[in-house]
Every structure is written in C-alpha cells, then in structure tokens.
Amino acid sequence: EELESAEDDERSCRGRESDEDTEDASETDLAKHDEEDYVEMKEQMYQDKLASLKRQLQQLQEGTLQEYQKRMKKLDQQYKERIRNAELFLQLETEQVERNYIKEKKAAVKEFEDKKVELKENLIAELEEKKKMIENEKLTMELTGDSMEVKPIMTRKLRRRPNDPVPIPDKRRKPAPAQLNYLLTDEQIMEDLRTLNKLKSPKRPASPSSPEHLPATPAESPAQRFEARIEDGKLYYDKRWYHKSQAIYLESKDNQKLSCVISSVGANEIWVRKTSDSTKMRIYLGQLQRGLFVIRRRSAA
C-alpha cells in the first residue's frame, strides 16, 4: 500500500509538471504572436505615414497643397499691403517736396523783388544826393564869385606893313582850360564850401537864393567830438553798436529830432530812412564824429 501510494503521488506530480509545461508553451506562443502583430502594425503605420508624406510632397510640387495655398495667400496679402503703404508714402513725400519747392521759389522771388526795389531806392537816393551836392556847389561858386569859365584875353592886332617880315606864329603851348580835381571826399568838399560861405557872407548881402536860406547842416562845434567808425557792416557810435534795420532817433544841431531806421551801412557813411515819409538820408562818419548829427537808440515798437 505504501508503494502504491508513493507511485500514485509520483504520477500526480508528473501530471502537474506536464500541465505546467503546456501552459508555459502556450504563453510563449501567444507573446510571439503579439510581437509579430505589433511589428506588422508598426510597419503598416510607417508605410501609411510615408505614403501620406509622398502625397503631400506631390501636392506641394503641383501647388495644390492646402497648407501651401493658405500660406501663399497670407504672403500675397502682406505683399499687397506693403506695396500700398509704399505708394502712399511715396505720394506723401512727393507732395511735401512739391510744397517745399513752391514755398522756397516764392521766397526767392520775393527776396529778389525786395532786393531789386532796395537797390533802386539806394541808387535813386545816391543820385539825388549827388544832384543836391552839385546844385549847392554851383550856388556856392556863384556866391563867392568863382567861375568855371575861362575868359579869353583880348589883344589888339595891328595891320602888317608891306616891308615887315611875316610874323612867325607863336608855338607856345596854349593854356589848358581850368579844371577841378576832386581829390577830396564828398564830405570834405561840402565842409570846405560851408566854410567859404561863412567867410564870404559878411562881405556880401545874403540873397534869397543863397545857400544860407536853404536847409543846411548846422555849424560844427570843434570842442564836441564823438567816436564813430564802421566795422563788419556795423556802426560803432558813442560806445554802442548799430546795425541795419535798427530803429533810431536822429538829432541835429537845430534841435530837430527825427524817427528813422538804418537802411544800410556803407564804408564811410550810413543811410537812414525816415519813418514819417520813408525818405532816405545819407549821414557821413565825419558828421557823426563832429556832432553835426546825434544818434540815439529807440524801441522798435
């Protein structure tokens, strides 16, 4: 009995071992089958993905890919927007340049016209001043008895006797007509003429047409001197600088006070324009230095 029970136990153990081996074999086969299915599925996914990429590449080359068309449309819109902005900017800049050109052209024409009028006025004033100086010089010469005309010397000629030799013509040089050499400045000439008037006036009664009855520059005061000079187009007078277009008061010796504006500054004189009637006057440095005219500053307003 004991041997039979031992044999039975051994047979049952062998049976259990064989069942376990069968189960292990079935599980191994199942794992192999699952692995093959996974590899096959992965291969299928790879092939599908590759086919999809090839199809998209073909559509991209043909220009029918949806993503490509969408991006191309967006780029085209950006291109058109930039072109439109550039055209608007170009139009704006062109209009600005044209406006600046027209403005500068008008300013240049206006400046040219103003300069032309100013030059004409200066020339007219200078010619009028020279005309007055010549008229005053003529009146002064008539007053002092001087004459520009040279009277010929009257000589008597006797008839030649028959036996007298033929007279030899005088080859001596004829006297040249009297001439005036203006080696002085206009200011010095006018000053000398005024001095002659003062010296000659007590010996001769003054006539209504004499220069003493005309508006003349007041007599100078030798004791009163002012510092006046012109540098770099500016007038330095009485420790102050005066420039073009500056408003001033012009005072003369007869206590006449005029409101003027400096119109120009020359090399030896200045031109001033009266604010009352816009007439111009020329004032020499010598007249300012001797105190014949006095300049005072005034407000431009």
Q: Give me the CATH number covering residue 238.
A: 2.30.30
What is the spatial distance between Cα 20 and Cα 8, in angstroms, rounded to a whole number?
A: 19
Q: Which segment, 94-103, 204-213, 233-242, is predicted with the most confidence on average?
A: 94-103
pLDDT band at 212 (very low <50, low <70, confident <90, very high): very low
Give the range of the structural domain holding residue 259, as residue numbers without chain letter.
Answer: 228-297
What pLDDT does residue 19 have? 63
Is the per-residue pLDDT at 285 higher than 80? yes
What is the spatial distance between Cα 87 and Cα 227, in angstroms, rounded to a whole number?
A: 66
What pLDDT does residue 113 have? 93
pLDDT band at 78 (very low <50, low <70, confident <90, very high): very high
Q: Per the domain annotation, does 134 fall within a domain?
A: yes
Mean pLDDT of 89-114: 94
Work out the number of other CB atoms within 10 angstroms of the CB of residue 130: 12
Is the per-residue pLDDT at 124 higher than 90? yes
First-to-last CA distance in the chain? 153
Of 107, 123, 144, the one marking the end of a domain is 144
Contact present, 248 and 260 (Cβ < 8 Å): yes
Looking at residue 203, what DSSP letter applies?
G
Q: Per the domain annotation, does 174 fall within a domain?
A: no
Of 115, 144, 173, the one marking the end of a domain is 144
Maximum Cα–Cα distance across the chain: 226
* Total residues found in the chain within this entry: 301
Higher-pLDDT residue of 30 and 64 is 64
Q: Supply the pTM of this predicted model.
A: 0.29
pLDDT band at 222 (very low <50, low <70, confident <90, very high): very low
Of 144, 175, 199, the one marking the end of a domain is 144
Total domains, the chain: 2
Mean pLDDT of 122-150: 78
What pLDDT does residue 146 have? 46
